[in-house]
A and B are shown apart, each in its own frame.
Chain A
Amino acid sequence: MNYAQAGCSALEAAMRSDASVVVLGEDVGRGGIFGQYHGLQQAFGEQRVIDTPISESTILGAAVGMALAGLRPVVEMRVVDFALCAIDELVNQAAKARYMFGGQGRVGMVARLPNGLWSGSAAQHSQSLEAWFAHIPGLVVVAPATPQDNHGLLRAALACGDPVVYLEHKELWGLQGEVEPAQLARLGEAEIARPGRDVTVVTWSRTRHTALQAAALAEKQGVSLEVIDLRTIWPWDRDAVLASAARTGRVLITHEAVQVAGFGAEIAATLAEETDARVRRLGAPRVPVGYSQPLEDESRITPQGIAAACVELRHARPAHR
């Protein structure tokens, strides 16, 4: 099953077991442009899989209203970049309603905002904005990297009752993998994608796979990488990261988002406060993503780049108080 189908089957299962789950967004009736809603309108009808006009602010705003009035909406934003047309509804309304109203009303919704660099699509379709949402009290932020996680985490996101920013990766839709539907995922629980001894690599979304490739390269240079896939950005699994850092003493955080003020900075700060580990970050340079391949490549995180950073980190002198 591929990543898109895994999300689709999770949603289908949720819609079968809970009549309050509805979907709204552009082109969802046709199955979504990546096939992640394939067959759902045929199965559940136009009242539960709602094709919307190109009206991002009303798609998200209406979902807030639906949630406050008892439905459980799944919102499709096509790519995270277009969700910027609905940022008031997400940040000022969805994230804050429960708190501002003193606990009356909850906004249980899953807003799907495919994130990351989308080849050849240039600056307005290639952003990675997870840190923006992690910064907003009230929001849960999820970033699945595998078909199994896209299944398990989507179900968990739907069940949690909070507003969830669900960041699929724009280029993982075709990724194949085993999916065990009964296997549940817990929000806030990282996965050790590869155990290792020398350097901990903390990452999420597509760079999980990049980091695993980097681990093979680093191994040839005698450096063993432990790859941790956070899976959930908020809440993030501090315990898993701190435990791994205690074992290796060296941590690289890598993500596709711009390095400056990326979520890696939060993790690095926590490591600085809590451990003696040597810490490095590897994110994209603070430039918009260019269209042309050589320009786009400057923003791309590569296995070679991660491996080189880890080898360098392995040989950095240990920190001491």
Chain B
Amino acid sequence: MNDERALALYRTMARIRAFEDAAEQASKGGVAAFGASLSQAEVRGPLHLSTGQEAVPAGVCAHLGITDLLTSTHRGHGHTIAKGAAPDRMMCELFGRASGYNGGKGGSMHIADFSVGMLGANGVVAAGIPIAVGAAHALRARGGSNVVACFFGDGAINRGPFLEGLNWAAVHALPILFVCEDNRWAATTASESNTAGAGALARAQAIGVPGAQVDGNDVFAVWDAAGNLLAEIRQGGGPRLLHAITYRVKGHVSVDAAAYRDAAQHEREIERDPLVLAAQRIAKPDQLEAIGREARGEVAAALAAAHAAPWPEPRAAYTDVQDTGAGRWRG
């Protein structure tokens, strides 16, 4: 891999990390669950951080253009940034401001930027999978070699839509890259305790969807594997699945201290920080330092923009519901 490409991958990861760190800070006290109580916070509600998982969206989305599409999960900031969305408008959305991508209607769990082909995060586990299937039909109808990247967690493979979606995509040879971001946890439950067999890739192969398993903390390995699979898909080879093994560094949501995990094992896992692993191989400390500074600067500007941004007008609650039958809000 050439230096420029390596630095670009590192930059995407650094930008995601900076965003997640800032969002985490702004969400303290934003939700009552996991033993935490509600107080005032800029970012309200459950905030699912992708800290430590940055290599997966960075490595996959480096192969996507804005005419390719992407479906995401509740843990979607990394996918959104890597697909090309602007952190300031994302932060505005997390702050619930009118200038956010969704006008404040969605927040973190529903963040979307259709202008770059990001069809939305999702509050329902595995719900993005059938949507990706439909989007792939639409791409094929349009012609060309565009693809859908469909991200989901390891927990999602135990829901029916995983089987239904993969089977469908295989039957119709749809242009989809399924990406299982296996961070090994599903909320407070270790996924291995509830997942039979060898996991996402083995299941995909059993229904005729080939793929690859990769160290999801190694951005270069992710980039390589995703590149190969996407080339096959773009040539009309049908769906593929990338099983990226990573680790959820934070709790399930930002207020979850995740005390249910083994402390020693957690320490070992977080040593495999994808940014550190990449930095060791890039060996250009000055440039990496500069990239980190730029990423933090970008997020500082995003925070400032979000603080200054206007709130939505209450009447915005009544727009974009539907056209037919709108206006009779209480009957």
Contacts and interface: CB of A to CB of B under 8 A. Distances in A.
Interface in A39-71: 51-57
Interface stretch (B183-191, B220-228, B235-243): B183-191
B158 A34 contact: no
A279 to B, nearest CB: 13
Nearest to A79: B123
A174 interface: yes
A118 B33 CA distance: 11
Contacts of A122: 45, 105-107, 109-110, 123
B211 interface: no
A81 interface: yes
Contacts of B329: 285-287
B37 to A, nearest CB: 7
A33 B251 CA distance: 12
B96 interface: yes
B44 interface: yes
B96 A292 contact: yes
B269 to A, nearest CB: 19
Contact of A291 (B102, B155, B194, B313): B102
Contacts of B106: 122-123, 291
A289 B124 CA distance: 16
Interface stretch (A90-98, A132-140, A293-301, A313-321): A293-301
A54 B125 contact: yes
B38 A286 contact: no
A121 B31 CA distance: 9
Interface in B106-126: 106-107, 109-110, 122-126
Contact of B330 (A259, A290, A293): A259
A85 interface: yes
A276 interface: no
Nearest to B38: A119
Nearest to A293: B96
Nearest to B34: A33
A53 B194 contact: yes
Interface stretch (B139-147, B293-301, B315-323): B315-323
B2 interface: no
Contact of B110 (A35, A285, A287, A291): A291
Contacts of B25: none
A308 to B, nearest CB: 14
Contact of B313 (A27, A56, A287, A294): A294
A110 to B, nearest CB: 22
A208 interface: no
Given A123-B105, A124-B124, A291-B45, 6 more contacts: A26-B187, A33-B33, A54-B159, A119-B31, A171-B32, A297-B314
Interface of B: 30-35, 37-38, 44-46, 96-97, 100, 102, 104-107, 109-110, 122-126, 155-156, 158-160, 186-189, 193-195, 260, 311-314, 316-318, 321, 328-331
Interface of A: 26-27, 29-30, 33-35, 51-57, 81-82, 85, 118-125, 171, 173-174, 259-260, 281, 283, 285-288, 290-295, 297-299
